[in-house]
Amino acid sequence: MKIWNFITSLRLALILILIVVLLSVCSIFIVQVPHDIAAGSTDFYRWIDEFVRPNFGFWTDTLAFLGLFSVFHSPFFLLVVILLMLNILFCTVKRLPLVFATLRGAGIVSEPAAFPDQPLLRLNGTTAAALAMATTNTLLKKGWRVRETTLINGILVAADKHAFSRLGTLLSHLSLIFLVLGFFLSSLLGFSEDSFLVAEGTVREVGHGTGLSLGLITFGIEQWPDGTVKEYRSQVILYKENQPVDTAIIRVNYPLFYHGTKFYQSYYGSAPVIEVTDDASGAIAGGPVALVGTMADQENMRPVGRLVLPGTGLTAYIIGPALNTTDPVIGPGQVGVELYRDNTTAPSSWLLIDAGTSQENSGLVFSFPGTSYFSVFKVKNEPGIWIVWAAFILFTLGIVMAFFFPYRRIFIRLDQEEENVVVRYKSSGYSAFKGKDELTAFAEDILAKVPGKIVPDKE
């Protein structure tokens, strides 16, 4: 019983919320590993050594052990979230009987513990029964649910309003559980690929058992008068089992949906078209080379892409002009090519090629007809997304019900004392009237319906 009480306690909820808050704050101040690198993998440790250790030094290994570079994917965070969801679920279940009892009218069955000693007013010239009837009718007209109970010397009028708002709290809490369920469902049954790159004029398989392929027909950029990017769009064709099924223009805020698979425009870059041939074999390799990487020296950061030259023992790195400065080496309309022999770390050759020209090196001819683009999409399938949206709607509904239609209860006790009716009033929980003005208007409304007059208070 003690354990059940603890699991369903608000104290536990507040502690768990506090832990989530603290972990979230940590994640803001401590650099987090990129989404596409799994914590604990070889890439993770490479990332730690390259990006984290220079800044965190001695503390790096300790913080990594505590999972603070991957807070939201750590087992501890997962445990806290699961515990919080269980707490919410059990708390909600525990409060269900009270919610349904309130809906059935249990809130106005019994008399409250104590009325104020000082009566609200005394009326002369009417009876408790007449006043009770006027009160009940007025309340009913204002949308209250009313129950009259006969007392020894009078009548108790109990009323409540917006009992349905108790459901609001229930909905908003349950929706949090649905939200997490929706997320887990998508994680388990769906897929997400953050950097699905397609070069202009090429087609790429989506994979993940979808049977889909995406071809980038053309890519376009529109600019504002000041040269900044206004819009970039990808004209695509979608294939299912190699048959075209859809064409679309994908741009930011305008994704493509196809039977649960979604394609979002992410970013783009230049993709110089490089063709490599030799006299003996003809074409070795060719096509747009997406410059997705970067290489930096002290002053210049240049985009770079990789082109494998099969059968030659060579790999070519295609380098574009610097992104951050005027490049002193590679000008506009030029590309640099570094050739590496297999299993070496230093380039064996360097070429600088102008657009529309060719150069020979290492027995190969490198042609650079011009530059096209590559477009990067985020591709995903989220079976649980509809549960997430439903959770958002339910949560909003719950909040509106609970906050803007709060549950109200009032008790009016009418005691017949000889010729006078003594009126006492108590509201329970949220204030039944929005201040004295509304209570006064309510009282005046009732008093207008009965004979009699208010007896002044004795000095």
Q: Which residues bind other proteins (CB under 8 A)?
A: 10, 13-14, 17-18, 20-21, 24-25, 27-28, 32, 35, 72, 192, 224-226, 228-232, 251-253, 255, 262, 264, 266, 378, 380, 385, 388-389, 392, 395-396, 399-400, 403-404
| Sign of CA pseudo-dihedral 286, 288, 291, 293 | negative
CA angle 146, 104, 443 (to 5 degrees): 20
Angle, to 10 degrees, between the axis of helix 165-189 and the axis of helix 385-404?
160
Rounded to 5 degrees, what are φ and ψ at 260? 90, -20
Would you list the DSSP string of 288-348? Answer: E----EEEE-SS-EEEEEEEEETTTTEEEEEEPPPSSS--SSS-TTEEEEEEEETT-SS-S
- The HSE-up count of residue 244 (CA atoms within 13 Å, CB side) is 9
DSSP letter assigned to residue 48? I
Rounded to 5 degrees, what are φ and ψ at 41? -85, 170
Nearest to 432 by CA among 171, 63, 195, 107: 107
Rounded to an integer, what distance in angstroms lies between the CA atom of residue 434 and that of residue 375?
58
| Residues across the chain | 459
Contact yes or no for 180/387 (Cβ under 8 A): no
* Structure tokens given for 149: 């109970």
- The identity of residue 317, as a single letter, is Y
Residue 257: which region, alpha, beta or left (left: phi > 0; alpha: psi -120 to 50)?
beta
Please list, in sequence order, all residues whose beta carbon lies within 8 angstroms of the beta carbon of residue 87, skipping any fewer than 6 positions away.
Answer: 7, 8, 9, 12, 13, 16
Contact yes or no for 372/271 (Cβ under 8 A): yes
Rounded to an integer, what distance in angstroms lies between the CA atom of residue 108 and that of residue 383?
45
Would you list the DSSP string of 77-119? Answer: HHHHHHHHHHHHHHHHHHHHHHHHHHHHTGGGTSPPS---SS-
| Sign of CA pseudo-dihedral 185, 191, 195, 198 | negative
Rounded to an integer, what distance in angstroms lies between the CA atom of residue 409 and that of residue 165?
12
